[in-house]
Amino acid sequence: MATIKCIGILTSGGDAPGMNAAIRAVTRAAIYNGLRVKGIYRGYKGLVTGEILEFKTQNVSNIIHQGGTILKTARCKEFTTPEGRALAYENMRKEEIDALVIIGGDGSLTGARIFAQEYDVPCIGLPGTIDNDLYGTDTTIGYDTALNTILDAVDKIRDTATSHERLFFVEVMGRDAGFLALNGAIAAGAEAAIIPEFSTEVDQLAEFIKNGFRKSKNSSIVLVAESDITGGAMALAERVKNEYPQYDVRVSILGHLQRGGRPTAHDRIIASRMGTASIEALMEGQRNVMIGIEHDEIVYVPFTKAIKNDKPIKKELVNVLNSLSI
């Protein structure tokens, strides 16, 4: 710990509500513990190009309630090359940055793991992604806010679905993880969720139709995780039109509105806890770990586990949705 006097913070990958709360927590916890802080703009791209600014406590005033990230985020092809990472390390040395805190998803943590191995840089990751797909943490920064955004949208869609007696497919984000779709369906009282975790085992659409979803309802809503595995909402709607033409089907793709908005209290709190824990981890001599929360306790998860292990969907949640959708 004696060698760490200055830390750099960056946000990378897709933005997530609560990232600003995490930036604030990392900055203030570091300053509280006598460390200097440098904000790195536009993710790894800013590390490569040297877009770096010293942060004081006032730099993070009045941002806890803001969505997005004040540090911006961008994709960086250069950082995927050894030459790009060499430039990034050179800029770190120039700015006297001794350790990095990276806020992002699995791609961001993968980049951190490679960089840490090549240059022996202490790196701490914070799970900032609405997908909630990182292994070793019960929840990720931004997930709760995105879930509540989905809930608000589906509540509105149900009004028109009921009025017109339609079947609605609502596509939500999550890439290859069905957490938003499944928990969103439970919270919104939807009839089903089509998620990638089970698409290879059963034809979820056929099961949904076979179960007679119109027995007791004049409208239905199905949440679909965007994924090549599920085919997405448009492909499923096309199937219904071809295979079950008796149903009046519509599609709503929520898209990027799920990433925006003011973070919920839950996301602000976990971002603050994780941000503070990242500095504590560095002071304890930890490196190359992601800060997670399990059973409401802070845990350190090695990058290799967080990235390589698939986070499982609880079958119990699927059973809850099935039993309540009759």
Name 230's Cβ contacts closer than 8 Å, sequence gap at least 6.
Answer: 194, 195, 196, 199, 204, 224, 236
Measured CA angle at 127 (ends 268, 150), to 5 deg = 60
Among 143, 52, 142, 59, smallest CA distance to 100 is for 52
Question: Which one from 15, 98, 106, 131 is the annotated catalytic residue?
Answer: 131
The CB density around residue 293, as the number of other CB atoms within 10 Å, is 19
Tallying the residues shown for the chain, one arrives at: 326
Residue type, 266: H
Pairing type for strands 167-172 and 249-253 reads parallel
Tokens for 318, please give them.
């699927």
Cβ-count burial 159-191 (b if 16+ within 10 Å, e if not): eebeeeebbbbbbbbbbbbbbbbbbbbbebebb
Rounded-to-integer distance, Cα 307 and Cα 113, Å? 9
Q: Is 248 known to be catalytic?
A: no
Q: What share of the chain is helix, strand, coil (3-state, %, to 5)?
A: 45, 20, 35
H or E element in which residue 268 lies: helix 265-283
DSSP 189-215: T-SEEE-HHHHTTS-HHHHHHHTTTTS
202 within 8 A of 210, measured Cβ to Cβ: no
Q: Which residues are catalytic?
A: 131
